[in-house]
Amino acid sequence: MNAQPPVFEAPARFNIADYFLDQRLREGRGEKAAIRLDEGELTYRDVEVLANQFGQVLERLGVRQEERVMIALPDGAEFVGALFGILKIGAVAVPISRELRREDIAAFYELSRCRIAVAHAPVVETFAAAAAGSPWPAQILVVGTGSGEHPSFESERQTVGDELETCPTHRDDPAIWLFSSDPCGRPLAAVQPHASFAIATECYAKGILDYRADDVTISVPKLSYSYSLGSNLLFPFAVGATAVLYPEPPTPEVLFAKIVRHRPSILVTVPTFISRMMNDPEAANHDLSSLRFATSAAEALPASLYHRWKKTFGVELLDGLGTAEMGHIFISNRPDEVRPGTLGRAVPGYEVKICDDEGHEVPDGEVGRLWIRGHSRAFGYWQNMPRTRKAFRGEWFVGSDLASRDEEGYFTYCGRDDNVLKVGGRWLLPREIEQCLLQHPAVKECVVIGVCDADGLTKPYAFVVPTAPSPELEEDLKNFALEHMEAYKYPRRVILLDALPRIDLGRVDRGRLKTLV
């Protein structure tokens, strides 16, 4: 399959702070709104000044080129200023969620050996406790009202000027760490160079979605996630558009209110949240007419959910697939070519193929592993050579995602190899069992995972939240599945729960489920 070449070739001397921010001022967009908050707007010039101040403060605190700086801030002006300030001095940004537990933060400290953590005042004590136990001591730069124990950005910024020359980094210098999921639960950092973000922007944001200067974007995921970092910050900045940022946890009520207030034209969301929006009792009464389209990623978007959304809001919903290792989305539906239930087709600039475990391409219609080639690929995983060797093969990235492709080049997502099961030598999609069991009147929610039995063989287990528990329900559900599915697919155990354990954005914590067996 021939892929079109990337539409952007970064020069040798290239810094994405210049590409996404400085260049907007050179274009005369300094007074254009870059960020919209509930309390007001920041222009591109305002963001530039804030970034310059952050950069100078970080340099004064000892940060040098290529050293890592952690960002643990709510979505807002300071997050954006810190990010571009880090990039402007040639350092490496490591954005993480500020909601992490102390032991998780300690793991990020140990992995990144960051010089400084830029942390929101309410979580500084947690970060300080995590840093105290780390063999790599790191300072904390506090954003917001904090104690005098750590330097405060508000105080330090008073001692610096508004101008800062952007470091002439190389296009292959590390710029941002994007984190990928690791089945063992450890941070898995994909190290992305400066050029990757511009290439992803040119290929996907401009080439597929047609981001425009008059667009206003808003996102459900936060900027610490690579999906939102691209779609709700870097992409709009690349064209001089405006990004709506808010610190609150996303709920349907919060999002509907933000849409009414800010009238965005692009919504960045995920299927789990789309379902929550659709289940809002007042969903049909909310006005989403300002939206040109919404994007969906991070998990498969069922065709039924797409049709419910489209019927209710009349807004196009574009499903796609991307990874931290490839910078952003590399398969996507187009605004004028949506095929519900599929991820769409490969984004120009990327080549995607489906292979078996030996690396041979499989025929159209068969399930296999995704192999992706494109110039926005990461270097590899930081301090994890075994995983790097497994996933980064020559020019290709080979992850855990399984999919099939039809004869017209549309890809259908089939899950990850750590949650798609091979039972009796045959692929089994957990959602097939889930959809079957959800038809039973006693099942309110259901998740299926693979569990190894005493012989080391994978078997499907179902975790069910019942409408009304009963001693007979486990056997009833097994028999129900046997009546409606092939015999090898029925759940070998049904475990009843009061509620499913969940993580960010309401997604089910499948790792936690394995501990309940």
Q: Which helix (H) or strand (E) holds 95?
A: strand 92-95
Domain coverage including residue 504: 421-514
The number of domains in the chain is 2
Same domain for 170 and 67: yes
Q: Is the dihedral of CA 246, 294, 378, 180 positive or negative?
A: positive
Tokens of residue 234, six digits: 């870097």
Q: Beta-strand (E) ranges in 453-502?
A: 458-466, 493-496
The two tokens of residue 84 are 């571009």
170 DSSP 8-state letter = B
Residue type, 93: A
Closest CA to 324 of 406, 286, 381: 381
pLDDT, one tens digit per residue, over 428-454 is 778 889 989 999 999 999 999 888 777
Question: How much is the pLDDT for 181?
Answer: 66
Are 372 and 436 contained in the same domain? no
**180/190 Cα distance (integer angstroms):** 7
DSSP strand pairing (316-322 vs 329-332): antiparallel
Bridge partners, residue 371, by sequence: 353, 398
| Same domain (yes/no): 81, 222 | yes
Cα(451)–Cα(469) distance, integer angstroms: 23
| Burial per residue of 202-215, b for 16 or more beta-carbon CB atoms within 10 angstroms, e otherwise | bbbbbbbbebeeeb
Tokens at 169, concatenated? 């980094």
Q: Are residues 344 and 492 in the same domain?
A: no
End-to-end C-alpha distance for the chain, whole angstroms: 44
Is 415 part of any domain?
no
Domain boundary residue among 356, 378, 405? 405
* CA–CA dist 457, 477 (Å, integer): 22
336-357 pLDDT, tens digit each: 999 999 999 999 999 999 999 8
Q: What is the DSSP string of 4-16?
A: PPPS----SB--H
Asked which of 376, 405, 434 is the last residue of a domain, the reply is: 405
Q: Looking at the domain assignment, is residue 412 inside a domain?
A: no
Secondary structure of 219-276 in the HEC alphabet?
ECCCCCCHHHHHHHHHHHHHHCCEEECCCCCCCHHHHHHHHHHHCCCEEEECHHHHHH
The answer to the question of residue 8 being in a domain is: no
The pLDDT tens digits for 472-516 are 999 999 999 999 988 888 999 999 999 999 876 667 888 788 888
Question: For 353, phi and psi rounded to 5 degrees?
Answer: -135, 160
DSSP 281-338: TTGGGS--TT-SEEEE-SS---HHHHHHHHHHH--EEEEEEE-GGGSSEEEE-BTTB-
Q: Is residue 3 part of a domain?
A: no
The answer to whether residues 386 and 495 belong to one domain is no
Cα-based torsion angle of the residue sequence 381, 382, 387, 393 in order, rounded to the nearest 10 degrees? 50
What is the CATH number for 89?
3.40.50.12780
CB 463 within 8 A of CB 437: no
Residue 400 and residue 438 in one domain = no
Is residue 343 within 8 Å of 319, Cβ to Cβ?
yes
Nearest residue to 291 via CA among 321, 270, 314, 311: 314
Q: How do residues 185-243 score in pLDDT, each as one tens digit? A: 567 999 999 999 999 999 999 999 999 999 999 999 999 999 999 999 999 999 999 99
Please choose, from the candidates 299, 296, 369, 292, the residue with its C-alpha nearest in 3D space to the C-alpha of residue 332: 296
Instruction: Please report, in tens digits, the pLDDT of each residue of the chain (517 residues total).
Output: 344 544 578 999 999 999 999 999 999 999 999 999 999 999 999 999 999 999 999 999 999 999 999 999 999 999 999 999 999 999 999 999 988 888 889 989 999 999 999 999 999 999 999 988 777 767 999 999 866 789 999 999 999 999 999 999 999 999 999 998 655 456 799 999 999 999 999 999 999 999 999 999 999 999 999 999 999 999 999 999 999 999 999 999 999 999 999 999 999 999 889 988 998 899 999 999 999 999 999 888 889 899 999 999 999 999 999 999 999 999 999 999 999 999 999 999 999 999 998 999 999 999 899 999 999 999 999 999 999 999 999 999 999 899 999 999 999 998 777 667 777 666 677 888 998 999 999 999 999 988 877 767 788 999 999 998 899 999 999 999 999 988 888 999 999 999 999 876 667 888 788 888 8
Exposure class string for 253-267: b at 16+ Cβ within 10 A, else e: eebbebbeebbbbbb
How much is the pLDDT for 185?
55
Task: Indicate the residue among 405, 432, 447 that finishes a domain.
Answer: 405
- Cβ count within 10 A of residue 247: 14
CATH number at residue 447: 3.30.300.30
